[in-house]
Amino acid sequence: MSIEKYNAGEYDVAVIGAGHAGIEAALSSARLGCKTIIFTVSLDWIGNMPCNPSIGGTAKGHLVRELDALGGEMGKAADKFTLQSRMLNLGKGPAVHSLRAQIDRRAYSGYMKHIIELQENLDVKQCEIVEISNENGIWKCVSALGAEFSSKAVILATGTFLGGRIYVGEVNYEGGPDGSFAANRLSESLKKLGIPLRRFKTGTPARVARDSIDFSSLEVQPGDEKTVPFSFSTEKNPENKVVCHISYTNDETKRVILENIHRSPLYSGDIEGIGPRYCPSIEDKIVRFADKKRHQFFIEPCGEDTEEMYLQGLSSSLPEEVQIKLYKTIECLKNVKIMRNAYAIEYDCIDPLSLKATLETKDFEGLYGAGQFNGSSGYEEAAAQGLVAGINAALKIKGEEPLVLSRASSYIGTLIDDLVTKGCMDPYRMMTSRSEYRLLLRQDNADERLMPIGYKIGLISEEQYNAFLEKVQLKEKEIERANNTFIAPNEKLNALLEEKGTAAMTTGMRLSDLIKRPQLNYEMLAEFDKARPELPESVKEKVEVEIKYEGYISRQKAQVNEMLRLENKLIPEGICYNDITGLRLEAIEKLNKIKPTNIAQASRISGVSPADISVLLIYLSK
C-alpha cells in the first residue's frame, strides 16, 4: 500500500527512537544548536527501562560517569530517582570500582520525557517512521501517516523495536518491549536501502506482585551507608530508600526447566537471533552450567509507587505456565503472582563493522547508528553511543572536526572502537576487562579525562567547568603536600601500623610513602596529619588513588604514548591493500572491509597479525 506523503518540516538532525540512545543523541544535537526532531512510537515510553530497573554496574558505572563528563543527561536523571545505591567491587582495586543504582523506572522515564520536551531546538513527535531514503544528500523520514520529514542527518536509535518479535514458549508474534508494537516497515526500508542487518535476541524476567513474595527467609541486600552520585554536578548524595533481596534456584527448579526445555524457543529452533553471552536466560544457565546446583537471583523493586518486583537473573522465554511452575519451586515464590510474564525478543540490528568511529555509516553519508541498533546491549552502552552520534551529527552539519574518542581516553572510546573495529557476534556488553588501560580509565577521574572535551564541544557550562578546574587544583595541591609532608614516628602511629600488619616506623617518613603501603589509606592517617585541609570526598579519593598507584599509572601512561604514536600513523583513504606485497589474504580481506584510519586501529582488527602490521608500516614509509 503506497502512502500519500506530505511535507511535515525540515530539520538538521532526525533521531528515530527515544530510548536511552535516542534521548542523548537528540539532546546533544539540539544543545549544539542543530534543529532536531526525535520520533517515538509512544510518548509514554520515552526513556523506558524494559529490562532491569537499574543504571550502572561493572564498567557500566564508568560509562555513566563518562557520559556525564561530556555533558550527557543519564547520570543526572539516575541521581534524582535512585532507590538504592551501591558501589560494586570495593574489595578489588579502584580500576574496577563501579557504581550501580536501583532506579524508579517510571519517574526516570517521566523526567526524561519532560527534559526533551523543554529542550530548545528539539521537537518531540509520536509516530512510527516506516521509511527512510536519501535524495540529493537530504534524508527523508516518512511516518505511517504519510508525514515526510527532511533532515541533513538521521540517527537510528531503534533499540529492540526494529523487526521486533516476542517469544513466550510456542507463542510468538510481532511486537516491541513492554507490549508495544514492532517497527517492521522501517526494517524493510533499511534492507531496501542496503543496510547490512542481522538478528540479535535479548530477554527479560517476569515482574511479580510484592505481596505474593515471602521475604522472611531472604538475604537482605542493603545500599551503601555512604553513597556517591553518578553526576559530577549532583550536590546532594542520593538516599537509599529500599532494600533488595537475594535468593537461589534449586534442584526442583532445574527439573522443571529440563522437563520443558524442548518448549523453549531457544532450543526448539524458533529463535534465530543470537542472545547476550553475559546475561543468559535461566534455561540457558541450567543447560550451559549443568553441574551447578543452584543459581543466584535478586528481587528488586521497580519503583516507589508500584508493587511490581523484578526477578533479576530469572529471564526466560519458556511458556507462561512453565514460568509459573518454575518460580513456584523457589520457597519465597511459592505463592507468586506474575504481573508481567517473562519473554524473549528478537530484533534487527546493523553489523557495526559498517560504521565509522564517529558512528556514521561508511556507505551512507549523514546516517548514524546508536545503541542496540549497533549491536550492543544495555542502557549505558546505548546512551554513550547516542551522545557520540548526536555530537558527531551536529559537528558534521556545522562543518567542524568530528569527535573520535581513543581507547586510552575512555570506556566510551573502547566500546565504539570494539564495535567498529572488531565487530560483535552477540550483543556487546561493556566490561572492565575489555580495556587495556583500565587503571587510567577509573570512574573517579572521568571528569579529568573528558570534561575538557565536553567543555570545548559546548555541552559543559562555564560554571561547571570552573568548578571542575577548582577540584583538579585542590587534588594537585594535596598530592604535592603529601609528597612534602614528613610524619615523625610515634607510639600511637606505630600501634596502628602493627595492628594493620605493616612495619613500624623508626625514622620520619613522607605522608605519600605511608599512603602507598597496601595496608593503609589516606583516611586512616588523618589523625597523624595535622595540616590536612578540608577536602571534598571526591578529591580525597583521587588523591589516594594517584598516590597509591603512582608507579602503575606511570607504566600505563607509557603504553598509551606508544599507542598514540601508532594512532598518529594515518592510513590514506582509498588505499588498495591488494597491491601491498606481503600481506596475507585474510589481512587484505579484513583491511578492505573495515578500512582502518590508522595503524593502531589496523593492529586491533581480528585476523591482522603483527607481521601484517610490519608490512603495512614498511609500505607506508615508502
The whole-number pLDDT of residue 573 equals: 87
Asked whether the predicted pLDDT for residue 1 surpasses 80, the reply is no
Q: What is the dihedral of CA 495, 500, 501, 502, to 10 degrees?
A: -70
- At residue 173, what is the residue type? Y
Residue 13's pLDDT band, with cuts at 50, 70 and 90, is very high
- Averaged pLDDT of the chain: 94
Which secondary-structure segment (H or E) carries 486? Answer: strand 486-487
φ, ψ for residue 511, nearest 5 deg: -55, -40
Output the 3-class SS for 397-416: HCCCCCCCCCCCCCHHHHHH
Domain positions in the chain are: 207-344, 480-553, 568-621
Angle, in degrees to the nearest 10, between helices 550-567 and 537-548: 80
| pLDDT, tens digit (0-9, with 9 covering 90-100), for 558-587 | 989 988 888 888 999 889 899 899 999 999
pLDDT recorded at residue 274: 77
- pLDDT of 125 > 80? The answer is yes
| Rounded-to-integer distance, Cα 514 and Cα 522, Å | 9
pTM: 0.94
CB 149 within 8 A of CB 132: no
**Mean pLDDT (whole number) for 318-346:** 96
Q: Poorest-confidence range of 265-274, 432-441, 582-591?
A: 265-274
**The CATH number of domain 207-344 is 1.20.59.10:** no
pLDDT over 70 at 153, yes or no: yes
Band of pLDDT at residue 492, cut at 50, 70 and 90: very high
Across the range 483-487, mean pLDDT stands at 95
pLDDT score recorded for residue 564: 85
Domains 207-344 and 568-621 share a fold: no
Average pLDDT over residues 181-208: 94
Query: Tell me: domain 568-621, CATH 1.10.150.570, correct?
Result: yes
**Assigned architecture for domain 480-553:** Orthogonal Bundle (1.10)
